[in-house]
Amino acid sequence: MQDIKELLDKEVCSRNSNCELSYDKPDPLLVASRYKDEYIILLCALFAYGNARLIVKFLDSLDFSLLDKSEEQIDKALDGYYYRFQNSEDVKTIFKTFKKLRQEDSMENIFYEGYKKENSILEGLDTLITKIHQIANYKSQGFTFLVSSPFKRDKQGNIKQIGNAPYKRWNMFLRWMVRKDELDMGLWKKINKKDLILPLDTHTFKVSQKLGLLDRKTYDLKSALLITEKLKEFDLSDPVKYDFALYRIGQEKML
């Protein structure tokens, strides 16, 4: 494992630079990092699925100042806007929901309500996702895919590790908001980076298997938690610092 740690540490060091974010190497963080607003940054994370170039193109086309405008203006400006699984109504609804939520409280405070009980990232996420659905009061397949559903729980009320997706986009958002370096923005101060969970996508899943960080075959929340625990052996206080390096190793087919 020492040689794996050395490889990852080297990659973390060389990747920790603004040069990693460019239109040649598209990443949703390229757009998100232009803003200091947690609601705009979350929009960038939630729409971050599919081809990286197309994600950046779509995010570049959005007028985030609509979060300060009336619902009528939002409807008018986003008429005809869609992205993959989200139709125009879904896109309008997420903007209107975030506009309302933003007037009510900071997103960090809402997340912290769930997180603070046991320093649980999952409980924080569940609290925030549930709140978004309550405010939206709207159901569609596209919207549910965009925001995610609250976590499935067992009979004791505990969040299931098996049977839940890895919630990749949400954990990526938390990486951006909690960690602070040349890439991640560190705008949230109440959450400890040691509690973060690896934003597991297909790239990092396959790379983690090839590197021997994971021998599990199922792409789910349990796998994300297992890899995070493994990465804590390399850096207990900041396991998710390896995420961007793992992602690029997969994306650039380095293995």
pLDDT per position as a tens digit, 152-187? 999 999 999 999 999 999 999 999 999 999 999 999
Residuewise pLDDT in 10s, the chain (255 residues): 889 999 999 999 999 998 889 999 899 999 999 999 999 999 999 999 999 999 999 999 999 999 999 999 999 999 999 999 999 999 999 999 999 999 999 999 999 999 998 999 999 999 999 999 999 999 999 999 999 999 999 999 999 999 999 999 999 999 999 999 999 999 999 999 999 999 999 889 999 999 999 999 999 999 999 999 999 999 999 999 999 899 888 888 887
Cα–chain-centroid distance for residue 41?
Answer: 10
List of residues 6+ apart from 68 with CB closer than 8 A: 99
What is the reported pLDDT for 212? 94
What is the reported pLDDT for 253? 82
What is the reported pLDDT for 88? 98
Q: Look at the chain and report how many structural domains it folds into.
A: 1
What is the reported pLDDT for 60? 98
What is the reported pLDDT for 111? 98
What is the reported pLDDT for 184? 97
pTM of the model: 0.96
What is the reported pLDDT for 110? 98
CB 190 within 8 A of CB 214: no
What is the reported pLDDT for 18? 84
What is the reported pLDDT for 249? 87
Exposed / middle / buried, residue 77 (Cβ in 10 Å: 0-12, 13-18, 19+): middle
Residue 254 has which token pair? 């380095």
Residue 211 has which token pair? 């590197």
115 by DSSP, 3-state: which? helix
Backbone angles phi, psi at 192, to 5 degrees: -90, 130
Domain span including residue 95: 2-251
What is the reported pLDDT for 255? 78
